[in-house]
Amino acid sequence: MTQRILLAQRVRTLEDSSDPRADAVVVDDDRIVEAGRLSDLRSRHDVPVDDRFAEQVLLPGFIDPHLHPSMAAVLLQMHFTTVVSWDLPWTDVGPVRDQTEFDARLASLIAETPRGEPIFVWGHHPRWHGDIARHALNLMSEDHPIIVWHRGYHSLITNDAALTWMGVDLDEAERHPQIDLDRGAFYENGMAFANQLLTKHTLAPDRFRGGLERMRAVIHAGGHTTIGDAAFGMYRPDQEWEDLQAVMERPDTPFRIDLMPALFAVGKSDLAARVQAIKEFPQRNTHRLRFGNHVKMLADGAFFAELMQLQEPGYLDGHHGEWLTPPEQFREIAAAAWDAGFNLHVHTTGDLGVELALSTLEELQARAPRVDHRFTFEHFGISTPSQVQRIAAQGAHVSANVYYVHELAPMYAERVLGLERAATMSRLGSLERSGIPFALHSDFTMAPAKPLFNAWVAATRVCENGQVMGIDERTSLDAAMRAITIDAARMLSREDEIGSIAPGKTADFTVVSADPWEVGAEGLRDIDVVATVFEGNAFPLPSA
């Protein structure tokens, strides 16, 4: 490939010093030489002009630093029953909005499925679809193993046929603190117990690789050129690695994956051995699959499942959240990872989960200070203003799932948290005012893998029902766009390589139909992704 100039209607570099009137970029193979106005660039570079994107806008390649290719590969092969609709690259899935619609959908699937074959559905949420349990599923079918996966992924419900088909040791399950056999419910670490039994089906090579192919299409459709796998190895690390290479490490894959090992799921060895195993992962790096110096930890339970740990006054109905990692064990694991030099990314959903992670960070910094530790709070559902101030004081980062606001805030205001806490979930405006670097992620499939849509939610806080929640926690347009480009690159320690259009960086671009700064925050979700350019090579979207 030779040096050339890419021409666009407008080039937005996300670099503070760039020319706001830029309309072209000089690219040399897979590297950016410079951006500017075509008239200026042609005076210095006597090279061909590629004008295929002359009517579009060139942005830095979008980055989602936290999603789950393997988890998505499992879920994308299931029947969707979420309360929101999905427009996936191969199909549109309509919403299932209440219990009547959910029961009808499940009954239809039972009628369509040959006797004895398992039925997997994903997207059940009790707040919309009503409670469901083992007994009710038994009444619907004794012949089909039925596995109903919660919208938030962290829990599932089974019938008797599924317990038998999975090979559940009922005595062992009865003793597990996060399994309720009477309800057929497996949640948090109990769900992990069930997951290992289900892998004979969910990770079957043809099925799993088919799911990864679908995930590959989703990533491209969103305009991504880099994603972060924020819990590599959560199922079977060796198989996941083999299948990821087979599907993703191909010349026609237009993105790279930064893999963040799950410190909680690397074999069954002791902590020191797990840390050592993770330190050796970068030796596996390929062109598109890269391990860095980041690891994933878990604090409290899932946000969609209402299992996050909350400070007083807790939940409106008085129920309690769950710890994914008990506090003392969490501190032990964090200390081992910190001392090994890792950058810690911690799943925190409730303000008590944030408190555990934050107090642990404060203890680690007091004992063994690190200047650029990149400690990152992942998801950041419920927090307090004082916690934001302490996060700023510690120099930490936040990778937020702002989509919680869009789908959940009105319901959570009425029935789960009350108005004040629901309105201020994912308090990004506070982060921006405090100068805390933050990114937006999808945690796909918890949110659509659509960076512009999630930037729209961050900048408008418009909910699925049209309501606006927490106006003061809206971000600026600039911050929302940085959160899917250069600030997202910071979460992966890649800001010197990707995330903006600057000399020497990799030639990754997202080509869109309109300029975000022209249409404004309200128009972000209506902008179409036309193509991506990955390492200098153009990859048009199939529908473009």
pLDDT tens by residue, 418-473: 999 999 999 999 999 999 999 999 999 999 999 999 999 999 999 999 999 999 99
**84 shares a domain with 43:** no
- How many Cβ atoms from other residues are within 10 Å of residue 315's Cβ? 17
Reported as half-sphere exposure (CB side, CA atoms, 13 A), residue 509 has a value of 33
Residue of 274, 250, 249 whose CA lies nearest to 264? 274
SS3 265: coil
In 203-320, where does DSSP find H-type helix? 205-221, 237-248, 271-279
**195 shares a domain with 119:** yes
**32 shares a domain with 86:** no
Residue of 119, 121, 65 whose CA lies nearest to 96? 121
pTM above threshold 0.75? yes
**112 shares a domain with 16:** no
Which pLDDT tens digit goes with each residue over 189-199?
899 899 999 99
**161 shares a domain with 47:** no
The mean pLDDT value for 81-107 works out to 96
How far are the Cα atoms of 245, 417, 472 from residue 361, in angstroms, in the given order?
A: 35, 27, 27
**190 shares a domain with 110:** yes
β-bridge pairing 49-60 and 4-11? parallel
Count of positions (residues) in the chain? 544
* CB contact at 8 A, 354 and 322: no
Which pLDDT tens digit goes with each residue over 492-528?
999 999 999 999 999 999 999 999 999 999 999 999 9
* Model pLDDT, residue 39: 94
Residue 389, domain member (yes or no): no
Among residues 202, 221, 238, the one where a domain terminates is: 202
**143 shares a domain with 79:** yes
Torsion angle, alpha carbons of 161, 162, 165, 166, to 10:
-150
**182 shares a domain with 93:** yes
* CB contact at 8 A, 256 and 290: yes
* Model pLDDT, residue 20: 79
pLDDT tier, 543 (very low <50, low <70, confident <90, very high otherwise): confident
Instruction: Report the domain count for the chain.
Output: 2
Residue 157, domain member (yes or no): yes
Residue 521, domain member (yes or no): yes
**What does R_g of the chain's alpha carbons equal in angstroms?**
23
Residue 249, domain member (yes or no): no
Which pLDDT tens digit goes with each residue over 371-410?
999 999 999 999 999 999 999 999 999 999 999 999 999 9
Which pLDDT tens digit goes with each residue over 7-31?
999 999 999 887 878 999 999 999 9
How is 57-86 classified by DSSP, letter by letter? EEEEPEEEEEE-HHHHHHHTTSEE--SS-E
The mean pLDDT value for 44-53 works out to 96
β-bridge pairing 179-180 and 509-512? unpaired
Helices (H) and strands (E) in the chain, counts: 21, 24
Among residues 202, 220, 254, the one where a domain terminates is: 202
Residue 543, domain member (yes or no): yes
**187 shares a domain with 116:** yes
**160 shares a domain with 36:** no
Burial class of residue 346, CB neighbours in 10 A (0-12, 13-18, 19+):
buried
Q: CATH number of the domain that 86 lies in?
A: 3.10.310.70
Residue of 82, 152, 91 whose CA lies nearest to 446? 152
Residue 215, domain member (yes or no): no
Residue 80, domain member (yes or no): yes
Residue 20 makes CB contacts below 8 A (sequence gap 6+) with: none
* Model pLDDT, residue 266: 56
d(CA 290, CA 287): 7
Q: CATH number of the domain that 2 lies in?
A: 2.30.40.10
Which pLDDT tens digit goes with each residue over 289-314?
999 999 999 999 999 999 999 999 99
Among residues 202, 218, 245, the one where a domain terminates is: 202
**132 shares a domain with 46:** no
Mean pLDDT of all residues belonging to the chain: 96
**95 shares a domain with 49:** no
Residue 172, domain member (yes or no): yes
Cα–chain center distance at 219: 11
Kindly tell me if the per-residue pLDDT of 331 is higher than 70.
yes
* Model pLDDT, residue 1: 61
Asked, as a colleague might, if the bond just before 48 is cis with ω within 30 of 0, I would say no
β-bridge pairing 179-180 and 155-158? unpaired
Interaxial angle between packed helices 385-393 and 351-367, expressed in degrees from 0 to 180 and rounded to the nearest 10 = 20
* Model pLDDT, residue 209: 96
Tell me which residue range forms the domain holding 101. 69-202
